[in-house]
């Protein structure tokens, strides 16, 4: 790791890690979730012996927040990062942080997801900043991610308060050349400096109100910091009629869109989105006739700015959200074009008429070739009747909801399936309820629902889709993997946990044993009470990647015996491995680019037309 | 240089990420200001993966506006059409690797496979140049991106970026056998004329 200044092409997530190093961050924790897992990949690229801070993937976002908080009370600058909805999990701990005197400093990095690219909603986490009296900074680009993290640290340490750095998907993943400063390593002070006298750290009635007062006082003082640190800035286009107040990636969209504008409005770009800089905004409102608030997702800033105009009696036309569409989706340049066009017709040139576009079949995300979940859904479907209710959970196995499996008819959030399934089973003697759960999610938030099912004697079946990893977010280890981020660790076997909870009916098989899995699920469904089926098979994407790295690796694939094939298409239509290709004449072939030769498809063909996997030749030169 | 937008599209697993990283670094070596963004997350599981790359002065957001890509790079035939529909500029260029990974609806017999003629017609309609690439003897699908890279170089599709810039970018990003293998393929594909 360079101690001298340098520049490199990096994504926002990587720029963040360099900022952590330079800032002297000591403890970092997380739970994987898009758009943030690449932060951990950048951390992993620093060999552990040279890594100047401790990092862990915790069991969930709440625990990660607690670990970072605890470390900060010993005087270690800490950071926790996770995706947008991760903050919901962490919130019970998170909302208390501003009450505390966080002596080492603590930054909460959020990966919000406008457009719901890889999340179950596009929640606007700026509301949490308001709810918890926590300042929030919002960078627009990788360069700003790097700069704003260091400024967040400065603020957090100056005031011993938590600070949120809010990233969004395409800020996390944007790539550009960033100029980094030098790094002066600071020797670790291992003294555990926790001191209860620097608290109080116990929020009970008598203490809560003064603690809240202190939180509010600190928040008020943030505006001085924002002024000093140049986080909010003006793009002065000399326009005293029109102005725009915006922030984050929408600012960059706006800059691009305005290149073709007849006149360019002035722009106030906010770097601190909570608390907003009242004086700067007041001045900006006073010197313009019309001000557009260009704010992605919800409208907290619009409301605050309108309140400022009202309180200060400023005569200005403030144009916020104009219709419901303005609340929905990412503010891409296309979206910002539409919004500006709607706000000030005539400012932007009309777009030319579009040519006719032929349809392209959708390409939804799929389970990979050889995925154990595919075998599982194919087998489980045979054990279910059409009226059974199947409850999905978060993970690769969520994809079972797609045709042709259509298993998993409702989805909420991490670990919710067992609880929802329990509710669906009440007053319900007619329709069996089957809930699904991944193994990483089992530890993350799945356990309380399972314990509840035991405790309250709910009648449903839970199928644990165990693939040995946190697959969807890039194969992070979990508590049953036998490895943590840094070293080997004791495995917590899921089956033993279930046995320890006193669950009587536990079944387990490899999902490639499709007939056996069908039988076990039927058995579990006929059990009285709560039953669990562990449907396990290692993640084949992970397995195949590992195999390919071995020198002796020989690619294998199956083939179709065209003599035997009766074109009944179970392989392509029901089992639906993406490897199978349907030709226009009905003939079935193998896509050699996709088949991994796992052979899990052989058992699905009643004509036995799928041939045993064979080695296809030496590894390519 | 005035802004030049490159939109890449393919299927998860085809190596869009590596291709976009090479193009970005090569452009950087050529002295262009660059900014880009990849789509990550759920799309990696056999879904659509895209990457935006923008070169030149006065470029702010990494996201390309619809219909504003000077160059669309498709690693698969269906995705090439999706790329044209969404992003190809009138008078731009499409280069695509002519392989088919059938989308779900085609395999389920709900939709028809996109054919080559549909793509050609769409390019004519957009007055766009069409370059079709295929390497019949390639054994490893994950190297199709390098075949496309070689064709991008051969046809000089990115202003100011030359073979040495691509080689340098590959050297920055790969090492050992992988680098050797990919550089060999890049040189070999640069010589053959199996593009139409």
What structural domains and CATH numbers belong to chain A? 6-229 (3.40.50.970), 233-343 (3.40.50.920), 372-544 (3.40.50.970), 551-615 (3.30.70.20)
Q: How far is residue A408's CA from residue A465's CA, in Å, rounded to a whole number?
A: 13
A477-512 pLDDT, tens digit per residue, is 999 999 999 999 999 999 999 999 999 999 999 999
Q: Does B120 touch chain A (CB under 8 A)?
A: no
Predicted confidence at residue B40, as pLDDT, reads 65
Phi/psi for A149 (5° steps) reads -60, -45
Q: Are B92 and B102 in contact (CB under 8 A)?
A: no
A135-147 pLDDT, tens digit per residue, is 999 999 999 999 9
Range of the domain at B148: 4-191
Closest CA to A231 of A242, A223, A221, A239: A223
Contacts of A323 (CB under 8 A, 6+ apart): none
For strand A162-168 and strand A136-137, is the pairing parallel, antiparallel, or unpaired? parallel
Angle, to 10 degrees, between the axis of helix A248-257 and the axis of helix A333-343? 70
Count of Cβ atoms closer than 10 Å to residue A189 Cβ = 11
Q: What is the mean pLDDT of residues A313-336?
A: 98
For strand A266-270 and strand A78-83, is the pairing parallel, antiparallel, or unpaired? unpaired
How does residue B41 score in pLDDT terms, banded at 50, 70 and 90?
low
Beta bridge partners of A274: A136
CB pair distance less than 8 Å for B125 and A174: no
C-alpha distances (whole Å) from A545 to each of A39, A370, A482, A553, A555 are 21, 13, 19, 11, 11
CB pair distance less than 8 Å for B42 and A365: yes
The pLDDT of residue B43 is above 60: no
Q: Any idea of the CA torsion for A342, A345, A346, A347, to the nearest 10 degrees?
A: -60
Q: How far is residue B93's CA from residue B99's CA, in Å, rounded to a whole number?
A: 18
Chain A 130-149, residues with CB within 8 Å of chain B CB atoms? 141
Q: How far is residue A143's CA from residue B33's CA, in Å, rounded to a whole number?
A: 14
Predicted confidence at residue B42, as pLDDT, reads 59
* Residue with the two structure tokens 């800020």: A171
Partners of residue A249 in chain B, C-beta under 8 Å? 61
The pLDDT of residue B61 is above 50: yes
Q: Does B156 touch chain A (CB under 8 A)?
A: no
A445-478 pLDDT, tens digit per residue, is 999 999 999 999 999 999 999 999 999 888 999 9
Give this prediction's pTM: 0.96
A439: left (phi over 0), alpha (psi -120 to 50) or beta: alpha
Pick from B45, B64, B81: which is nearest to A360 by CB? B81
The pLDDT of residue A353 is above 80: no
Q: Does B77 touch chain A (CB under 8 A)?
A: no
Q: How far is residue B83's CA from residue B60's CA, in Å, rounded to a whole number?
A: 22
Closest-CA residue of chain A to B144: A593
Chain A nearest C-alpha distance from B125 (Å): 7
Chain B nearest C-alpha distance from A596 (Å): 12
Count of Cβ atoms closer than 10 Å to residue A574 Cβ = 14
Exposed/middle/buried for residue A199 (C-beta within 10 Å: 0-12, 13-18, 19+): middle
Q: Is B72 contained in some domain?
A: yes
Looking at the 3D structure of chain B, how many domains does it have? 1
State chain A's mean pLDDT as an integer.
Answer: 96
A399-422 pLDDT, tens digit per residue, is 999 999 999 999 999 999 999 999
Q: Does A47 touch chain B (CB under 8 A)?
A: no
Closest-CA residue of chain A to B117: A358
Closest CA to A463 of A427, A492, A434, A500: A434
Q: Any idea of the CA torsion for B136, B137, B138, B144, to the nearest 10 degrees?
A: -20
Chain A nearest C-alpha distance from B77 (Å): 10
Partners of residue B138 in chain A, C-beta under 8 Å? 620
Q: Any idea of the CA torsion for A126, A131, A132, A137, to the nearest 10 degrees?
A: 20
Count of Cβ atoms closer than 10 Å to residue A79 Cβ = 33
Q: What is the mean pLDDT of residues A153-170?
A: 97
C-alpha distances (whole Å) from A387 to each of A72, A252, A519 are 52, 50, 19
Closest CA to B101 of B120, B80, B71: B80
The pLDDT of residue A438 is above 90: yes
Q: Does B39 touch chain A (CB under 8 A)?
A: yes
Predicted confidence at residue A617, as pLDDT, reads 67
Q: Is B167 contained in some domain?
A: yes
Q: What is the CATH number of the domain that holds B149?
A: 3.40.920.10
The pLDDT of residue A382 is above 60: yes
Q: Is B196 contained in some domain?
A: no
Q: Is B115 contained in some domain?
A: yes
The pLDDT of residue A424 is above 80: yes
Q: Is B47 contained in some domain?
A: yes
CB pair distance less than 8 Å for A365 and B105: no
Q: Are A437 and A464 in contact (CB under 8 A)?
A: yes
Lowest mean pLDDT across A108-122, A352-366, A513-527, B121-135: A352-366
Grouping H, G, I as helix, E, B as strand and the rest as coil, residue B94 is strand
How does residue A619 score in pLDDT terms, banded at 50, 70 and 90?
very low
CB pair distance less than 8 Å for B59 and A256: yes
The pLDDT of residue A25 is above 90: yes
How does residue A620 score in pLDDT terms, banded at 50, 70 and 90?
very low
Partners of residue B143 in chain A, C-beta under 8 Å? 620
Q: What is the mean pLDDT of residues A258-280?
A: 96
Q: How far is residue A589's CA from residue A560's CA, in Å, rounded to a whole number?
A: 6
% of chain A with per-residue pLDDT over 70: 99
Q: What is the mean pLDDT of residues A126-136?
A: 98
Half-sphere exposure of B179 (CA within 13 A, CB side): 11
Q: What is the mean pLDDT of residues A375-399?
A: 96
Q: What does DSSP assign to residue A129?
A: H
Residues in chain A: 621
Pick from A170, A337, A362: which is nearest to B105 by CB? A362
Count of Cβ atoms closer than 10 Å to residue A158 Cβ = 14
Predicted confidence at residue A11, as pLDDT, reads 97
Predicted confidence at residue B44, as pLDDT, reads 63
Predicted confidence at residue A616, as pLDDT, reads 85
Exposed/middle/buried for residue B116 (C-beta within 10 Å: 0-12, 13-18, 19+): middle
Q: What does DSSP assign to residue A180?
A: E
- Sheet strand arrangement including A290-293: A233-235, A266-270, A242-247, A290-293, A317-319
Partners of residue A141 in chain B, C-beta under 8 Å? 35
C-alpha distances (whole Å) from A563 to each of A36, A582, A607 are 50, 16, 10
Phi/psi for A93 (5° steps) reads -80, -45
Q: What is the mean pLDDT of residues B58-82?
A: 97
% of chain A with per-residue pLDDT over 90: 94
């Amino acid at each position: 790791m360079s101690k001298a200044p340098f520049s490199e092409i990096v994504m926002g997530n990587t720029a963040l890690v360099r900022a952590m190093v330079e800032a002297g961050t000591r403890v970092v924790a997380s739970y994987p979730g898009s758009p943030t897992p690449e932060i951990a990949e950048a951390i992993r690229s620093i060999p552990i012996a040279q890594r100047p801070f401790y990092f862990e993937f915790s069991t969930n976002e709440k625990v990660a927040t607690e670990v970072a908080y605890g470390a900060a009370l010993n005087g270690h600058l800490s950071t926790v990062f996770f995706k947008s909805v991760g903050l919901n999990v962490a919130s019970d701990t998170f909302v208390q942080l501003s009450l505390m005197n966080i002596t080492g400093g603590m930054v909460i990095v959020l990966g919000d997801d406008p457009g719901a690219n890889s999340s179950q909603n596009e929640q606007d986490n700026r509301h949490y900043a308001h709810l918890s009296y926590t300042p929030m900074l919002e960078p627009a680009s990788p360069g700003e991610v790097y700069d704003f993290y260091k400024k967040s640290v400065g603020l957090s340490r100056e005031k011993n308060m938590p600070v949120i750095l809010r990233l969004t998907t395409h800020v996390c993943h944007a790539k550009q050349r960033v100029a980094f400063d030098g790094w002066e390593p600071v020797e670790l002070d291992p003294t555990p400096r926790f001191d209860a006298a620097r608290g109080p750290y116990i929020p009970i009635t008598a203490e809560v109100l003064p603690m809240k007062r202190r939180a509010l006082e600190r928040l008020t003082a943030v505006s001085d910091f924002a002024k000093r640190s140049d986080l909010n800035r003006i793009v002065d286009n000399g326009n005293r009629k029109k102005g725009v107040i915006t922030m984050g990636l929408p600012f960059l969209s706006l800059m691009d869109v305005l290149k073709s504008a007849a006149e360019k409005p002035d722009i106030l770009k906010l770097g601190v989105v909570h608390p907003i800089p009242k004086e700067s905004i007041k001045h900006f409102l006073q010197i313009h006739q019309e001000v557009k608030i260009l704010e992605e997702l919800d409208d907290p800033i619009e409301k605050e700015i309108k309140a400022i105009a009202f309180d200060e009696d400023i005569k200005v036309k403030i144009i916020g959200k104009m219709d419901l569409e303005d609340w929905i989706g990412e503010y891409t340049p296309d979206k910002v074009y539409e919004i500006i066009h709607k706000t000030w017709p005539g400012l932007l040139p009309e777009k030319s008429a579009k040519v006719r576009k032929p349809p392209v079949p959708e390409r939804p995300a799929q389970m990979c070739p050889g995925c154990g979940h595919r075998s599982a859904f194919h087998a489980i479907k045979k054990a279910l009747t059409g009226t059974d209710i199947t409850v999905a959970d978060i993970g690769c196995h969520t994809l079972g909801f797609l045709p042709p499996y259509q298993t998993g008819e409702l989805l909420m959030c991490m670990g919710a399936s067992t609880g929802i399934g329990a509710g669906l089973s009440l007053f319900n003697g007619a329709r069996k309820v089957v809930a699904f759960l991944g193994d990483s999610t089992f530890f993350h938030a799945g356990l309380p629902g399972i314990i509840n099912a035991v405790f309250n004697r709910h009648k449903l079946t839970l199928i644990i889709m165990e693939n040995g990893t946190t697959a969807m977010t890039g194969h992070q280890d979990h508590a049953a993997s036998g490895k943590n981020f840094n070293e080997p660790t004791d495995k917590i076997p899921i089956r033993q946990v279930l046995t320890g909870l006193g669950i009587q009916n536990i079944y387990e098989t490899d999902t490639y044993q499709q007939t056996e899995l069908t039988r076990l699920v039927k058995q579990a469904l006929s059990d009285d009470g709560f039953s669990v089926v562990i449907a396990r098979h290692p993640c084949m994407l992970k397995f195949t990647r590992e195999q390919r790295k071995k020198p002796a690796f020989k690619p294998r694939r199956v083939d179709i015996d065209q003599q035997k094939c009766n074109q009944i298409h179970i392989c392509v239509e029901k089992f639906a491995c993406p490897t199978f290709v349907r030709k226009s004449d009905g003939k079935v072939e193998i896509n050699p680019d996709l088949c991994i030769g796992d052979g899990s498809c052989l058992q699905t063909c009643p004509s036995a037309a799928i041939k045993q996997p064979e080695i296809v030749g030496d590894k390519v030169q | 240089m005035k802004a030049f937008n490159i939109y890449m599209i393919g299927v998860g697993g085809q190596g869009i990420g590596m291709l976009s990283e090479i193009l970005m670094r090569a452009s950087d070596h050529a002295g262009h200001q660059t900014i880009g963004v990849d789509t990550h997350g759920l799309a990696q599981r056999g879904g659509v993966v895209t990457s935006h790359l923008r070169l030149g002065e006065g470029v702010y957001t990494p996201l390309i506006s619809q219909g504003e890509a000077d160059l669309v790079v498709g690693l698969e035939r269906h995705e090439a059409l999706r790329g044209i529909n969404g992003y190809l500029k009138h008078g731009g260029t499409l280069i695509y690797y002519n392989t088919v990974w059938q989308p779900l609806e085609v395999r389920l017999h709900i939709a028809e496979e996109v054919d080559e003629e549909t793509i050609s017609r769409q390019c004519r309609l957009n007055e766009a140049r069409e370059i079709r690439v295929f390497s019949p003897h390639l054994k490893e699908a994950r190297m199709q991106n390098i075949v496309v890279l070689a064709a991008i170089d051969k046809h000089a599709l990115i202003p100011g970026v030359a073979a040495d810039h691509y080689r340098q970018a590959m050297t920055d990003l790969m090492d050992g056998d992988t680098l050797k293998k990919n550089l060999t393929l890049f040189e070999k594909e640069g010589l053959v004329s199996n593009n139409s």
